[in-house]
Amino acid sequence: MSGYNVRKLKEKLFLFLIGALTVLMFSPLFHIIYSVFNNGIHVILSRRITFITGRLSDGGIGPAIIGTFILVFLASLIGLPVAFLVGVYAYEYPESTLGKATKSLLQIMLEFPTILVGVFIMQMLVVPMGTYSALAGALSLAIIMMPYVAVYTHEAMRQIPFEYRDAAFSLGLTRVKAVFRVLVPMAKRGILTGVLIGIAKVAGETAPLLFTVGGSYQTYQIGITKPVGAIPLLIYTLIQSPAKEHHEMAWGASLILLLIFLGIFIPVRLSLREVKV
């Protein structure tokens, strides 16, 4: 066999190995999606509207769905602006003492146990208020969300060639205008990816909610200072029960949570066009 044929064979073997490892890497994800869909779809179809809008006593998870949306919305309202500005600051002042400290703290927060965040918020907010609340849960989720958004914002800005920054300054733009009118729009794909990952992270969090929201599933609570339910917390509660019916409801709730995530993540990702630089 000639040297050329040997190289072609090695190339094909290498590509096959890479493809096989890629499939192997994603197989757990596809298995999870299949398992959740296969076990949850019949629960939703058998109960239909009742499962989506009903209370827990009626065999539904309506309050948990509403509670999840409230918590994610409030957490995003609190955390996203702060995280975005922190990411921009870390990009703009990478060599400053505060900039270096910010990047180090962000890396620490990414790996920080989320249950400790829940304990912290419980002591700082739940205990003084004397009640669980949507506000306490949202604040704990905002703290968890912020490092993901900030790190992705920082990295997305770093991917923009430095020439665009110089071009903006040459046109007479100030630092603020150059960042927010030129660089941020060019990095929006990476920034929004961080936003989506942050939202997905907090939408599925359970540990911090154990200490903050209270878990209300029999009524639709109105007000950010009252206890609320959440789908991940409800799933955790249901699987503690020995009843088969509760396990089935947990599968159905898992599918609803998966559909909410995919319904937000996929359309937004597909609607974004990558900026060519």
With contact defined as beta carbons under 8 Å apart, do 147 and 195 qualify? no
Q: What does the CA dihedral 97, 99, 101, 105 come to, rounded to 10 degrees?
A: 170
pLDDT of residue 277: 43
| Residue 241 neighbours by CB under 8 Å, 6+ apart | 247
Residue 191: pLDDT over 60? yes
Beta bridge mates, 228: 214
Same domain, 58 and 176: yes
CATH of the domain at 123: 1.10.3720.10
In 3D, which of 214, 212, 211, 203 has the Cα closest to residue 254? Answer: 203
Same domain, 16 and 122: no
Q: pLDDT tens for residues 58-115?
A: 888 888 999 999 999 999 999 999 999 999 998 888 888 888 888 888 888 888 889 9
Same domain, 20 and 52: no
In 3D, which of 63, 56, 68, 65 has the Cα closest to residue 246? Answer: 56
Same domain, 32 and 68: no
Dist. CA 198–CA 192, nearest whole Å: 10
Find the largest Cα–Cα distance for the chain. 80
pLDDT of residue 272: 63
Burial class of residue 259 (count of CB atoms within 10 Å of its CB; 0-12, 13-18, 19+):
middle
pLDDT of residue 276: 45
Range list of H helices, the chain: 3-47, 49-53, 62-92, 97-111, 114-121, 127-129, 134-158, 162-170, 175-177, 184-186, 188-203, 231-239, 244-271
Give the residue, 11 or 210, on which the prediction is more confident: 210
Q: pLDDT tens for residues 134-153?
A: 999 999 999 999 999 999 99
Residue 127: pLDDT over 70? yes
In 3D, which of 155, 143, 92, 83 has the Cα closest to residue 119? Answer: 143
pLDDT of residue 78: 94
| Domain presence at residue 276 | no
What is the distance between the terminal CA atoms of the chain, rounded to a whole angstrom?
44
Give the residue, 12 or 222, on which the prediction is more confident: 12
Same domain, 191 and 138: yes
| Predicted confidence band of residue 4 (pLDDT cuts 50, 70, 90) | low
Same domain, 227 and 182: yes
Same domain, 25 and 80: no
Q: How many residues does the chain have?
A: 277
Taking all residues of the chain, what is their mean pLDDT, rounded to a whole number?
Answer: 86
Q: How many domains does the chain have?
A: 2
Average pLDDT over residues 222-251: 88
Same domain, 88 and 6: no
Read off the pTM: 0.85
| Domain presence at residue 43 | no
Residue 167: pLDDT over 50? yes
Domain that holds residue 254: 48-271
